[in-house]
A and B are shown apart, each in its own frame.
Chain A
Amino acid sequence: MDSSRRNFLKGTAGIGTLAALEINLGANAADIINNGGDKSVFSFCEMCSSRCPIEAKIVDGKCKFIQGNKHYSTTGTSVCARGGAGVNQLYDKQRIVKPLIRVGERGSGKWRKASWEEALKYCADKLGEIAKTHGPESVVFTAKSSESHKQMTNFACSLGSPNIFSHWSCCPITYQVAFPHTFGGSLSRDYSKAKYIVNFGHNLFEGIDIKYTKKLAKTAAKEDTKLLVLEPRFSVVAAKADEWLPVKPGTDLAFVMALIHVWIRDSKYDKKFVEEYTIGIDEVKKAVKDTTPKWQEKITGIKSTDVERIADEIYKAAPKVIIDWGHKTTTTRAEYQRTRAIFIANALMGNIEKEGGLYFGKKAKTFNDLVGEELFPTLNDPNKAFKVPKTPRIDGAGEKGSKNYFIARKHGVLMDIAPAILNEKPYPVKAWVNTRFNHLINVVGEETTIKAIKKLDFILSVDIYMNDFTQFADVVLPESTYLERDESIQDKSGSLPAYYMRQKAIEPIGDTKNGYDIFRELARIMKIDQNYTWNTIDEFRMQQAKGNDKLLAALIKDGYVEWKVPKLYYREKKYVSKFVEKFPHASTFVDENGEMSSKVKFKTPSGKIELFSQQVEEALPGEGCIHPANMDVYDGHELCLMSGKTPIHTNGHTQNVKVLNDMMSESPIWINPRTAQKRGLKTGDRVLVENKFAKSYAKVMVTEGIREDSLFVYHGFGHISSGLKRTYGVGLNQSKLLNPAYGAVCSTMVTNVGVDIKKA
């Protein structure tokens, strides 16, 4: 019995037994649990944050091939280029596979190898000393999303620092903030059944998330549906559109407000829905009084007649319409109002809990309530003992009176870290602990960050590659890649209850460790691990599953488990009756009209969809209602530099993965032929891009696929870490040039910025 099985047994004692587990797994239990030989391991991906379920094929103990997990029918065996390249990352010789302690100057890339024992002890001593001398809040924590973030948060809470940050503020924070304000929670988009989709550069065909990408691609290819895309660049999603409007960068808000204006002017919206489920329509009416199609024409460049036509088209298709709020919503400082306006537009079309519209994701608990019994297993959260300390944060997130009042204290505002370190305000920061996030590529102000980094007493970074931030660390702890890690059970419910779980496909390569173990061990050494109720990930999982052997066995076997229930939209009679047919108890929730309106609940202060938000108005006067300001992203320049995603790379993370680097080794700036001609530029020319924040060099590519007043570059290049041998020094890091002023209410980093460009 290998050690992981022994631990497993230990962890399950009392609440479930390995023997029971083996019975549940059936005849191949030994094959599934033991490594070695040919087999398939079902897990989920970590090449980007979409976390698609995968099947890793192992041949002769080597992971050879990755495809989608067939048990998850939404994506089936599909996987993207990055997902497929997980194998190549796993066996990359340039991975960090041994703890490293800095020996040269910070950032010099000079290291000595150390044992885990020594490296962890070193970190524990340093962090302990700093926490003791300057207070635990003097340590800031950054992480990429997902479980890495949870592991780090647990440790930060144990240490007593409230300064916990995720990548949210440079990516999806706008909708993460605007959703609770408007709907009290997040909504899902029913791309498959929609008849009309308005897409504001939500580039699902380049920023791939297979469960959405597949559905949108199929809907877009249908003859009787319409995909309208507003984007300054002819992206792939624009190429697949039925209509493409090359909108001026940053001005989507004006377009949406004009749509709302037309609908309200002509009384063409779902008045019954608005009356029943929303508050604040009068404030909206006032706000859009003057936002006419003609008004927006000067701002967006879209003809007023087009807006009139589109408003009509959408209304006719309602409620099978989706006005898509996107994902990386970071286009202007008006981002919060843009997203709110989009939410309001959806509400006006009455598409909530409707087929082809928007719906609330439903988890096991929701279904159990509906069916009146515990049919579907629910999970415990062993992390719930960890609470973010109530002490003030450096960015004031969640604190009354702060401009970051509405920002979750587990996610924070990344752009505030470097200034806080440099100005020692509101208090000195002495150490930075990071796991898997590359602050230097993803956050505005590379130079400022480096200056701040150099001021710190201690930096720890957990990573798999010598990423740019990691290169500046004092200690680097090598994490195993996702193909070598067992992790916790995750809720994968959407329209039916489902769970999935990351599992190791092979034993870790080199001297690497699971992030769970790294932070758990660090907490133990520092004797701050009172809240940890588990020692190993197996124990963690068993606690989550509440000792449910069957659930765990099914997850180990298939990586994904779901329970077939009829799809349910509360406001669709057809679906409600189908559901009730199968689960008669649910009839108690059905209204006279055949819907389940009592289930359509919004966890906002008013319990309704808040088209106007009193709480926002109170905290940040003027922001409670949509208003058209702060759309400028040119800042006096003739050109705006935008950035976006490519299907080949994930943010700043994969440029050094050989196969992906071979396919896309650089990222030139897109420039319109007319713009290029004026400046004497041709494809391949080296250019200087500059504004008041920074200057940087890049190559250009002349293409018709972009507005004359815009430039575009795929994000993630311009690495300054010599440890990333394949991509070091190639391309432009747009973050360097960004304006540090962030968007109101949601504190989003803005990734459109005015620049000048000339031949270098």
Chain B
Amino acid sequence: MNNMWGSMEQFSHIYWPWPIAIYLFLAGLSAGAIMIALLVKWNKHEDNTNSIWDAMVKAGAITGPIAISVGLLLLIVDLGKPLSFYWLMLKYNFVSVMTLGVLILCVYTPISFLFAMIIFEKEIENSKLLSFLSPITKFIRSFAHLAKYVEYILMILAICVAMYTGFLLSAIQKLPLWNTPILPLLFLVSGFSSGIAANILVGMAFFKGSLNKDSIKYLLVLDLRAIMFEIPVLIMLFLGLHFAGGQAAEAGVQAITHPTYGMMFWIGVVAIGIVSPIVIAATALKNHAYRPVYIVLNCFLILIGVVLLRFFIVYAGQICTGL
């Protein structure tokens, strides 16, 4: 029977397109950057002012709030009715992951800015441009004894943000690639690894400390671990689909064999985002004594891998449904 019921475009339309993929990437990156900043601050910061550690903290403190802000902007722009976005903050549905996300972000985003202001207290006061903010920093200063608690809360929120982006998708039962409990974990891990890469890049670019071989090595090894952890998580994702059988299994096969998104997965996510950093870590970085060019290359590859992972999940998830 030829089609006589009209366009079926609405059934295969990509309702969550690239801004959502980028948003998911930026949210993970923001959370990762904040997590690294806090981890470094808590573990390495005390006796090492103006070192790479300091640069890492600063990089995280600035990347975190900016990345999440840009991400949120994209999120709003992608709404069908962007100008009515405020309803998201006035009307709540506590069984909706999106509402929970909005609530988390409503706390996370200001606190990430607060954290930035604490970290950049001196810079703000010394800057001609930003000195008007000094009354605020002074005010924050007066609560200095609470700073540690703010950091703890921020850490928890960052983990929540990274994981919520996964839950946001996994709540969609209809799409097998999304509807998996692995997704929050995958997004947390890859968000973490992108946070390290982003912090190294931002730190090297704007807050040049001494390029201490040991410190960079510490971070890169940490990132390598995150990446290595991503491998079993990805395998679990597809094994999970495989063992779920039926539509889910079919969806998994469709996704990794899709002419566009299969390619994106194998070349972007696996080859660029996972294999090449491991190769670089195992070869170049070992032999070239952590030359900046390899560090930068390594970080970029990691970021590309992470952003393509989001694109792959978002698009293949909507297209490859196993039907």
Contacts and interface: CB of A to CB of B under 8 A. Distances in A.
Direct contact between the two chains A and B in their complex (CB within 8 A): yes
A663 B3 CA distance: 8
B7 to A, nearest CB: 7
The number of chain B residues touching the other chain, given as a range, is under 10
A646 B2 CA distance: 10
Interface in A43-65: none
B4 A647 contact: yes
B259 interface: no
A236 B2 CA distance: 12
A703 B6 contact: no
B4 to A, nearest CB: 4
Contacts of A666: 2
Interface string B1-21: 111111100000000000000
Contacts of A670: 2
B11 to A, nearest CB: 15
A663 B7 CA distance: 7
B5 A663 contact: yes
Best-buried of B1, B2, B6 by chain A (most CB within 10 Å): B2
A667 B2 CA distance: 7
B2 to A, nearest CB: 5
Interface string A654-675: 0000000011101110100000
A165 interface: no
A701 B5 CA distance: 16
Interface in B1-51: 1-7
Contacts of A440: none
A667 B1 CA distance: 10
Contacts of A701: 2
A263 interface: no
Contacts, number: 21
Interface residues of A, number: 15
A714 interface: yes
A185 interface: no
A324 to B, nearest CB: 22
Best-buried of B3, B4, B7 by chain A (most CB within 10 Å): B4
A648 B4 contact: yes
A109 interface: no
A196 to B, nearest CB: 27
A668 B3 CA distance: 10
B4 A663 contact: yes
Contacts of B1: 236, 703, 705
Contacts of B3: 664
A348 B2 CA distance: 40
21 contacts: A236-B1, A646-B4, A647-B4, A648-B4, A662-B6, A662-B7, A663-B4, A663-B5, A663-B6, A664-B2, A664-B3, A664-B4, A664-B6, A666-B2, A667-B2, A668-B2, A670-B2, A701-B2, A703-B1, A705-B1, A714-B2
Given A663-B5, A666-B2, 15 more contacts: A236-B1, A646-B4, A648-B4, A662-B6, A662-B7, A663-B6, A664-B2, A664-B3, A664-B4, A664-B6, A668-B2, A670-B2, A701-B2, A703-B1, A714-B2
B55 to A, nearest CB: 58
Contacts of B4: 646-648, 663-664
A159 to B, nearest CB: 42
Contacts of B6: 662-664
A599 to B, nearest CB: 45
B9 to A, nearest CB: 11
Contacts of A663: 4-6
A203 to B, nearest CB: 13
A646 B5 CA distance: 11
Contacts of B7: 662
A180 to B, nearest CB: 37
Interface in A280-303: none
B269 to A, nearest CB: 33
Interface in A680-706: 701, 703, 705
A235 to B, nearest CB: 9
Nearest to B7: A662
The 4 A-B pairs at the shortest CB distance, nearest first, are namely A664-B4, A663-B6, A648-B4, A701-B2
Contacts of A236: 1
Contacts of A668: 2
A242 B1 CA distance: 19
A351 to B, nearest CB: 33
Contacts of A705: 1
Nearest to A662: B6
Nearest to B6: A663
A664 B7 CA distance: 9
A703 B7 CA distance: 20
A668 B2 CA distance: 7
Contacts of B5: 663
Interface string A369-404: 000000000000000000000000000000000000
A663 B2 CA distance: 11
Interface string A217-253: 0000000000000000000100000000000000000
A647 B4 CA distance: 9
A441 to B, nearest CB: 18
A337 B52 CA distance: 99
A715 to B, nearest CB: 13
A94 B255 CA distance: 45
Nearest to B5: A663
A666 B4 CA distance: 9
A167 to B, nearest CB: 23
Interface string B115-152: 00000000000000000000000000000000000000
Contacts of A647: 4
